[in-house]
Every structure is written in structure tokens, then in C-alpha cells.
Amino acid sequence: MLTVRKGKVNRHEKITQCLLSGKPVSPQEIADVFKGTDQESVLYRLSTNIYNIRKDGGIIRVLKDGRKVSGYQLVNHTEFDANGRYRGPQKVAPVIIKTEVSAPVESTEAVTA
């Protein structure tokens, strides 16, 4: 059974909140979220935070322009809650499709032999 951690949101969970759209997010956009906070000075550890998201169960696609990272994309964004905490794959109830079998249609044309 998967238990979701409660309490204060960690730094990597806050970064996960930036990635919840499922679209690529540049490192500058992530830095803008931390502007004016006490954690702004430790954002040079962005790769460590991405690693922590991966440890939690996130699948991160790193987009590069040559050797420089141009963005990050959270592939399985539907498996996270609004706080950026991993909740696992959601089970979807199976859809039951009822099919009706109709009586065979008889041909009205005469069969020629």
C-alpha cells in the first residue's frame, strides 16, 4: 500500500508542482518560482532535485540544446497530486460495452443456380 507523506512541501515537490502541466519547463521558469524565497540560493542543485523526483517515482525527460539543458518535462504527471507528491498510477474502472446480436438478415434476392 502506498502512503503519501504529509507535512511541509519539500523543495523537489515544489519543483514537481512546476512540472505538473506535463509540458516542457525551462530551468529559468523553475528559478522564477523560487525568486525571493530562502531556497533561491540553493537552486544550483536543480539536478539533485530532479534526481529526488525520479526517486519518488517521477519520469523526467531532459530536453537539451547540445550539452546545455533547455528544459525538463514530467512524463507521468497524472500520477502526482496537486502538492507534487507521488500517488502512483490511478486505477481506472473498466468500461463494459454491451453488444447486441441481431437476428441474421435474410437476402431478398433469389439465388440463381
Q: How far is residue 73's CA from residue 104's CA, in Å, rounded to a whole number? A: 53
pLDDT at 20: 93
Contacts of 61 by beta carbon, 8 Å cutoff, 6+ apart? 24, 72, 73, 75
Can you give the pTM of this predicted structure? 0.70
> What are the residue ranges spanned by the domains of the chain?
1-113
Q: Virtual CA dihedral for 63, 69, 75, 76, nearest 10 degrees? A: 170
- Candidates 2.30.30, 1.10.10, 1.10.260, 1.10.3470; correct CATH number of 1-113? 1.10.10
Per-residue pLDDT tens over the stretch 34-60: 898 888 888 888 999 999 999 999 999
Per-residue pLDDT tens over the stretch 59-113: 999 999 999 999 999 999 999 998 888 888 877 777 777 777 777 777 666 666 5
Per-residue pLDDT tens over the stretch 3-44: 566 778 888 889 999 999 999 999 999 999 889 888 888 888
Whole-number Cα distances in Å, 110 to 12, 103, 104, 107? 76, 20, 17, 8
Identify the bridge partners of residue 62 per DSSP, sorted by sequence position: 72
